[in-house]
Structure 1
Amino acid sequence: MAERRAPGPVAEEPDFLQFNDLACESVGGKVVFASDEWFAPAANLLKREPPQFIASAFTEFGKWMDGWETRRKRTPGHDWCIVQLGVPGLIHGVDVDTSFFTGNHSPYVSVQAGCLNQPPDFTLEGDRTGMAASDSQLAAVAKADQRGILQVPGWEWAVFRLGHPGEIRSIEVDTRHFKGNFPDCCRLEARSLSPEEEAACFRTGWNSGKWQLLLPPQKLRPHHRHLFESELTLSRPVSHVRLIISPDGGVSRLRLWGRATPIAAAPANQQRAASKL
Structure 2
Amino acid sequence: MAFEKVKEIIKEAPAFAQLTDLAAERLGGQVLYSTDDFFAEKENLIKPTRGIFIADKYTDRGKWMDGWESRRKRTPGHDWAIVKLATSGKIKGFDIDTNFFLGNHPPHASVEAVYLQDDSHITDWETVEWKEILTKSHLDPGSQNFYECQDDAIYTHLRLHIYPDGGVARFRVYGEVFKNWNEVSENQVIDLAAAINGGQAIACNDMFFSEMGNLIMPNRGANMGDGWETKRNRTPNNRDWVILRLAHRGTPERIVVDTCHFKGNYPDSCSIEACVTTDEQIESADWKTLLPPQKLSADHEHEYTSEIQTLGPITHIRLNIFPDGGVSRLRIFGKINK
Question: Which structure dedicates a bigger proportion of its chain to strand?
Answer: 2
* TM-score above 0.5: no
Higher-Rg member (1/2): 1
TM range (shorter): 0.3 to 0.5
- When the two structures are superposed, what TM-score results if normalisation uses the length of structure 1? 0.44
